[in-house]
Amino acid sequence: MPSLPILVLSLLFLCLASLSITSEARVRHHKWEVKYELRSPDCYKRLVVTINGITPGPTIQAQEGDTIIVDLKNGLLTENLAIHWHGIRQIGTPWFDGTEGISQCPILPGDTFRYQFVVDRPGTYLYHAHYGMQREAGLYGMIRVSPRDPEPFAYDYERSIILNDWYHKSTYEQAIGLSSNPFNWVGEPESLLIQGRGRFDCSKLTSPTLDGAVCNTSNPECSPYVQTVVPAKTYRLRVASLTSLSALSFQIEGHNMTVVEADDPSRNYWITSNVVSRNRTTPPGLGVFNYYPNHPRRSPPSTPPSPPAWDDVDIRLAQSLAIKARQGHIIKPPLTADRVIVLLNTQNTIDGYRRWSLNNVSFNLPHTPYLIALKQNMTDAFDQTPPPDGYDLLKYDIYAVANNSNATSSSGIYRLKFNTTVDVILQNANTMNKNNSETHPWHLHGHDFWVLGYGKGKFDAQNDPKKFNLVDPIMKNTVPVHSFGWTALRFRTDNPGVWAFHCHIEAHFYMGMGVVFEEGIERVGKLPSSIMGCGQTRGFHTP
């Protein structure tokens, strides 16, 4: 009997072996235009942000050491723009990190901006909008960087799959609701997309006759995503999630992601993703794992596999704890930290508006990007009082809806001593709803960090550090903090610049769940004028 393929699953896989670049690096040049277009990714027609007419955008493919140049034209007509290169450390080019308000001024409508940076290590990375909430309008894609030396595992082919959640309301409508008093939450997404495709049930529309012209299940744009494979081959699947709100599970029916199975591949199988960590109301994302020579539109004969329980925190915590660095590719962390910052995630009401806060401080972006303000010594461009390094660990009840009446908003930042070791403890707590705590994916720009540990309940500063994994911790740039739990990470301040550290849920960062780290600003080279032109840098920009 022919055998099913081996599936090597890469969840933003990052090879951390010592690197030796043995062949000549290349310059890979891309020209992109970002525009709004009417599309129906889940059968419901709405304005979607595209790159060169597609979403997800073009995949960037390179080898370690290559230089990437992207000439980006902002064709949005009425909106500014910035793109962040998620996971690329931007060593020596902090001004091209693509974070509006932190590393650059936004790209104005009609302007073309050049991003130029080196992809210094192999792995699976992403790019996405970092202005307002544009990411959830479709502006995202994948970066695949292959090594010049042999990889630690072999495979015949590789494929990329991006998972996403999808809203029918525009980002403008959502942002207005989040900024309103009374507060209006964005709600759960209407659909889940697999590689930009989903299926919304048009019968659920409140005015089906009125909306009939914009919701059409026969539209080929929303036909299920199909991944065709050949039996008995080894496939590496690079699977990445760029959801704006939802944590997702991912399954391929009838397959184990790591071993070879012997079976008759005469049928197709379901690919599914489902919401976890939030009460599941969004229907699953569905795709088809198509075995050549079966027809790609031939539906699998079974029902899609059942997802894990949405509120089963233990299984996700166990999965997080089980992930270790690959033997032979371990970079051990420093044994001690020079500074410890504990960040308590809470919801607050500030001046009548709902906000997310860290240690009772809600983050606001300034009008002048931090990188420019610090390099040019513009001391009045942002709050000079730094946010606190911790909270009242003994008195605060993480399981209660707290008053937090002393909450404030600030654009203050953490100033870190260069070339030192910093521990960050992310502490989850109850939201403003009883018995509710949400999973938050935290992303650090400009660095990878060691994940030292996870735990339930309140972090114990005396005992929990004794359990840290200092032997084979994985290195990542994005990590979850689970419901009513904590996550510990460690990184070196060895990359001069100004770097965001924030929840990767669009609405949460918009509402203030983020901080900024500065390190070695005096070592940053001359800033390009192309990143200027806003706030106190008006008139500094040279086209």
Residue type, 422: V
More confident residue, 280 or 508: 508
Q: Within this chain, do residues 291 and 374 fall inside the same structural domain, yes or no? A: no
In a domain, 166, yes or no: yes
In a domain, 226, yes or no: yes
Over 60: is that where the pLDDT of 260 sits? no
Check the CA dihedral 7-277-285-309 and report its sign: positive
Check the CA dihedral 34-39-41-47 and report its sign: positive
- For residue range 77-134, what is the model confidence (pLDDT) as tens digits? 999 999 999 999 999 999 999 999 999 999 999 999 999 999 999 989 999 999 999 9
Q: Within this chain, do residues 215 and 149 fall inside the same structural domain, yes or no? A: yes
Please give the structure tokens belonging to residue 243: 């959801």
Q: Within this chain, do residues 477 and 361 fall inside the same structural domain, yes or no? A: yes
Pairing assessment for the beta strands 514-519 and 414-416 based on DSSP bridges: parallel
Over 60: is that where the pLDDT of 498 sits? yes
**DSSP of 443-483:** EETT--EEEEEEEESS--TTTGGGG---SS--EESEEEE-T
Q: What is the mean pLDDT of residues 13-28?
A: 53
Is 443 in contact with 478 (CB distance < 8 Å)?
Answer: yes
| Per-residue confidence (pLDDT) for residue 205, from 0 to 100 | 86
Ranges 48-57, 288-297, 517-526: which has the least confidence: 288-297
Q: What is the mean pLDDT of residues 477-499?
A: 96
In a domain, 324, yes or no: no
Is 453 in contact with 499 (CB distance < 8 Å)?
Answer: no
Best CA proximity match to 507, nearest among 280, 188, 275, 215:
188
Q: Within this chain, do residues 39 and 161 fall inside the same structural domain, yes or no? A: yes
- For residue range 365-398, what is the model confidence (pLDDT) as tens digits? 999 999 999 999 999 999 999 999 999 988 999 9
In a domain, 321, yes or no: no
pTM: 0.87
Residue numbers of the domain that contains 370: 339-523
Ranges 68-82, 187-201, 282-296, 513-527: which has the least confidence: 282-296
Q: Within this chain, do residues 171 and 289 fall inside the same structural domain, yes or no? A: yes
272, 295, 311 - which closes a domain: 311
Domain count along the chain: 2
Instruction: Tell me the CA distances in angstroms from 48 to 42, 137, 227, 513, one per residue in order.
Output: 12, 5, 23, 26
In a domain, 58, yes or no: yes
Please give the structure tokens belonging to residue 21: 């670049």
Q: What is the mean pLDDT of residues 9-28?
A: 52
Q: Within this chain, do residues 305 and 348 fall inside the same structural domain, yes or no? A: no
- For residue range 285-342, what is the model confidence (pLDDT) as tens digits? 888 878 777 777 778 877 887 887 877 777 778 877 778 888 888 899 999 999 999 9
Is 524 in contact with 94 (CB distance < 8 Å)?
Answer: yes
| Per-residue confidence (pLDDT) for residue 16, from 0 to 100 | 27
Q: Within this chain, do residues 289 and 159 fall inside the same structural domain, yes or no? A: yes
Task: Please return the burial class of 239, using the count of CB atoms within 10 Å of its CB with bins 0-12, 13-18 and 19+.
Answer: buried
More confident residue, 157 or 492: 492
- Is residue 264 very low, low, confident or very high in pLDDT (cuts 50, 70, 90)? low
Q: What is the mean pLDDT of residues 197-209?
A: 82
| Per-residue confidence (pLDDT) for residue 538, from 0 to 100 | 85
Over 90: is that where the pLDDT of 451 sits? yes
- Is residue 416 very low, low, confident or very high in pLDDT (cuts 50, 70, 90)? very high
Ranges 207-211, 214-218, 417-421, 460-464: which has the least confidence: 207-211
| Per-residue confidence (pLDDT) for residue 284, from 0 to 100 | 84
- Is residue 7 very low, low, confident or very high in pLDDT (cuts 50, 70, 90)? low
- Is residue 11 very low, low, confident or very high in pLDDT (cuts 50, 70, 90)? very low
Q: What is the mean pLDDT of residues 528-533?
A: 95
Percent of the chain whose predicted confidence (pLDDT) is above 70: 92
Listed in sequence order, the residues at least 6 apart from 228 whose beta carbon sits closer than 8 Å to its beta carbon are 290, 291, 292, 296
In a domain, 444, yes or no: yes
Q: Within this chain, do residues 355 and 242 fall inside the same structural domain, yes or no? A: no
| Per-residue confidence (pLDDT) for residue 210, from 0 to 100 | 53
∠ Cα 159 151 321 (to 5°): 80
Residue 233 belongs to a domain with what CATH number? 2.60.40.420
Which residues in 230-317 belong to E strands, given as ranges?
Answer: 234-241, 247-252, 269-276, 285-291
Q: Within this chain, do residues 395 and 457 fall inside the same structural domain, yes or no? A: yes
Q: What is the mean pLDDT of residues 259-263?
A: 32
| Per-residue confidence (pLDDT) for residue 6, from 0 to 100 | 46
Q: Within this chain, do residues 205 and 276 fall inside the same structural domain, yes or no? A: yes
| Phi and psi based region of residue 197 (left: phi greater than 0; alpha: psi -120 to 50; beta: remaining) | beta
Best CA proximity match to 343, nearest among 401, 429, 263:
429
| Per-residue confidence (pLDDT) for residue 257, from 0 to 100 | 57
Interatomic CA distance for residues 54 and 355, integer angstroms: 34
Interatomic CA distance for residues 138 and 135, integer angstroms: 6
Over 70: is that where the pLDDT of 12 sits? no
Percent of the chain whose predicted confidence (pLDDT) is above 90: 68
DSSP-derived secondary structure letter, 107: B
DSSP-derived secondary structure letter, 176: H
Q: Within this chain, do residues 282 and 412 fall inside the same structural domain, yes or no? A: no
Please give the structure tokens belonging to residue 523: 């070592």
In a domain, 534, yes or no: no
| Per-residue confidence (pLDDT) for residue 22, from 0 to 100 | 45
In a domain, 281, yes or no: yes
| Per-residue confidence (pLDDT) for residue 23, from 0 to 100 | 61
Q: Within this chain, do residues 381 and 288 fall inside the same structural domain, yes or no? A: no
| Per-residue confidence (pLDDT) for residue 18, from 0 to 100 | 30
